[in-house]
Chain A
């Protein structure tokens, strides 16, 4: 028997291979453990309130465990897919736009990305239909289905327009290297001023619309785009200049929706 094949003799080469394999397994399991840790608080909260505060058994425990397993696997796959597709593509496109050197195309792209991803966002569709119902109940608009539909669509287009403009402004800011806080605080002032003029029924919806516009697929893409731009442009810091796009996208809809409420 060749000494290397003897299973009883530990061989340095074999050991290294085993270590490499273990490392690979650990690397592959990393998103899974990370997702599992992310789910621990939810399980604890549900168990605590259901069993101790409400003092009721957990209904359909088996189904719940099966669902949690799906959530776990889904989260791990999503994180892996992020790193394989959404992050690289966002950064690569930022790099390509800078290389192409066309400011206008970059800004048009930013607008299209903001508008296109928001206009079809399910959470936004739900919230604008709800808003139309409130407006009809408050006799702001006629209570016919037609009037409600046109109000809901108008609101949706307003928010999508706001997000498109937000990304254009945000990208322009990265190019210029302006500090984010002046623009955001300026935006806050806009929100406060608009609050005093907007009809009271719209304020809650306007404030919430800032939060619902940024979906799970758009966020990583937009973050990667900003960081890619900050990486590629000379003199920009990825941490200071690369972040901030999402902040714009959650601020402008508030102002735009209140303006919609005033004008409608």
Chain B
């Protein structure tokens, strides 16, 4: 019974979120373009599936993943876990006391990004448009790898307290250098993948980690330093996707050179 009520509320919230989008689409279609949509029944059915799918997805996350994810973020950032081990397993160096947190940040960043529906949509589209050269899974794993590194570096930044903008500006410099050398076809997709990584699954867990970390470390403000992890998670995938394409190109060139030698 509880589950049913939860499902109903989530469905209503989803309806409210989708309503403005649907209103804009159908408003322009009917009033400006004045054309009938092809296959209206199929489109309507698809919309229902999107709505139902997202509702189930969010409900399931709220039930299965978010509580335990938040709890784990709290426990891993709790002072008892970091300093409390009497047997001194953890090193004495300041930032290195948090190795498990960096590992957790990277792992949770990777895992949530792979399951991110918006990223899946873009990967499916990129696969279609590229005629199969870009694989759905390859792109998703490359982006997820970028988010993993990004969130881990973001956690390191909260621990050390270095100003956010120095990291982000250095990231921009790397992106600009890569843009000069990366294959031209991948650039727009790489830029886009920065924006799609952080939505329904990633943000709640990553934010919980950031807040927990900022609360534990003396001298960090939960509000000021808790923010910023998402910025890392949207910057590093750009670098990772361009890097992925660069490695692919490099290997193709080397293979070609080797076959020419023979």
Residues of A within 8 A of B (CB): 34, 37-39, 41-42, 44-46, 48-50, 53-54, 56, 58-59, 63-89, 92-93, 96-97, 100, 105, 109, 112-113, 116-117, 119-123, 130, 133-134, 137, 179-181, 184-185, 188, 191-192, 195, 201, 203-205, 207-208, 210-221, 223-224, 227, 238-247, 249-250
Contact = CB atoms under 8 A, between A and B. Distances in A.
A122 B13 CA distance: 9
Contacts of B20: 116-117, 119-120
A207 B172 contact: no
Interface string B183-213: 0110111011011111110010000000000
Contacts of B137: 37
26 contacts: A34-B120, A38-B114, A41-B111, A41-B114, A41-B115, A49-B104, A64-B64, A70-B56, A71-B61, A74-B52, A75-B57, A82-B46, A92-B38, A93-B25, A120-B17, A192-B169, A201-B224, A203-B165, A204-B228, A208-B227, A208-B231, A214-B118, A217-B18, A219-B118, A220-B118, A247-B188
Contacts of B95: none
A219 to B, nearest CB: 4
B239 interface: no
A112 to B, nearest CB: 5
A93 B33 contact: yes
B124 interface: yes
Secondary structure call for the A interface: helix
A84 B121 CA distance: 12
Central interface residue in B48, B50, B69, B185, by most chain A CB within 10 Å: B50
Nearest to B33: A96
Given A41-B115, A69-B60, A214-B196, A54 B121 contact: no
A219 B231 contact: no
A77 B33 contact: no
A84 B42 contact: yes
Contacts of B33: 93, 96-97, 100
B118 to A, nearest CB: 4
B63 A64 contact: yes
A119 B75 CA distance: 35
B21 A246 contact: no
B240 interface: no
Contacts of B255: none
B49 interface: yes
Given A66-B63, A216-B117, A250-B194, A211 B234 contact: yes
Nearest to B130: A239
A246 B223 CA distance: 27
Nearest to B110: A41
Nearest to A72: B60
Contacts of B126: 239, 243
B187 A85 contact: no
Given A216-B117, A220-B121, A223-B121, A245 B192 contact: yes
Contact of A221 (B21, B44, B55): B21
A78 B50 contact: yes
Given A85-B47, A96-B35, A211-B233, A46 B188 contact: no
